[in-house]
Structure 1
């Protein structure tokens, strides 16, 4: 920082330029949640991808969407912008973590019948390189490692536009039987 910049900061001068803006729109999340209870996971996620169901608000907020859905495997894509930067000038790890959690958990969801729920038990993310707007579109690939009746295991890999891995993750999900099931 130059002496002039240090003096401006010390004096409280705030020449930050013109603020940027981002409009976020979403739909009633309960429409999607209701469909999740009545459709098999694979069919449910494909309905979101195909625009037959509204995306969850978190996907609209962070700007990612499903682009491939098959049994035990999903792919989400999104291009982060500066609105998700942290104080040191790179994309916040929380966005990458959210993408990893989404891909890993939704891969598990593709294996579940109608009415069966799930939730993440844990998520271990390893960041391998920084992400900036120059990283381009991120691709999150989630894969089921071991399906289960009570706990399922999955992994995710996040790649930048050049195909370089920016993060990997492992996850376990609690599989929850439908309400009223004798096992529950």
Structure 2
């Protein structure tokens, strides 16, 4: 190993190492309740803590904070662990939150025994996000409900209320639970 790479490695080792811990609850209870509850009721029980949220929430530091029929709100707290190589929050984090908002908005319109999955997702990144952008708020709204396909849109804003990303998508609706096969 030449002197320059060795010196760079020593410099990195002397810097403060940071870490993040991801915690989640067992999802068995939520998965058992899923086919029995209308989408809106399921989401509201997650918000209240009566059902555990999805493990992905811990990875990206997002929480579902509000749900009504056809509309949901997520809050996300980006930090340096979400940075890409150029020092901004990776677009994948924002895409994940936007996709979650689209899906949960669709879910809020579905009856018990029905689920969804993304068919397509279009994301527009409008400005960079950094750890000091503050909490992000992402609102997902159904623009056309349906029995087979739901269309939705989402907007993410930073702590100053500036739009940082938007998304549109369509979601396939299908039966879930033991009788779905």
Question: Residue by residue, what CA displacement relative to the aligned partner does 1:3-54 show, whole Å, maximum 9, x if unpaired?
Answer: xxxx975555221201101111111123222221111100000000011111
When normalised by structure 2's length, the TM-score is 0.92
Distance apart, 1:177 and its partner CA: 2.6
1:85 — aligned with what?
83
- Partner SS, residue 120 of structure 1: strand
Quote the Cα distance in structure 1 between the aligned partners of 2:153 and 2:19.
Answer: 34
* 1:177 is the counterpart of 2:175: yes
Q: Which residue of 2 aligns with 1:13?
A: 8
Please list, as runs of the form range in 1=range in 2, the aligned pairs for 1:142-181 lying within 5 A after superposition: 142-178=140-176, 180=179
**CA positional deviation for 1:61:** 1.4
Aligned to 1:3: none
Structure 1, unaligned runs of 5 or more: 1-6
Q: Which residue of 2 aligns with 1:68?
A: 66
Report SS of the residue matched to 2:8. Answer: coil
Tell me how far apart the structure 2 counterparts of residues 11 and 154 of structure 1 sit (CA, whole Å): 51
Verify: 1:100 aligned to 2:98, yes or no.
yes
- Counterpart among 45, 48, 53 of residue 47 in structure 1: 45
Question: What 5-or-longer segments of structure 2 have no aligned partner?
Answer: none
Show the counterpart of 1:130. Answer: 128
1:135-184, Cα deviation, whole Å (9 max, x unpaired): 10000100000001100100000100000000000010000034646xx8
When the two structures are aligned, how many residues end up with a matched partner? 176
TM-score, length of structure 1 as denominator length = 0.90
1:23 maps to 2:21: yes
Measure how far apart 1:60 and its partner are: 1.4
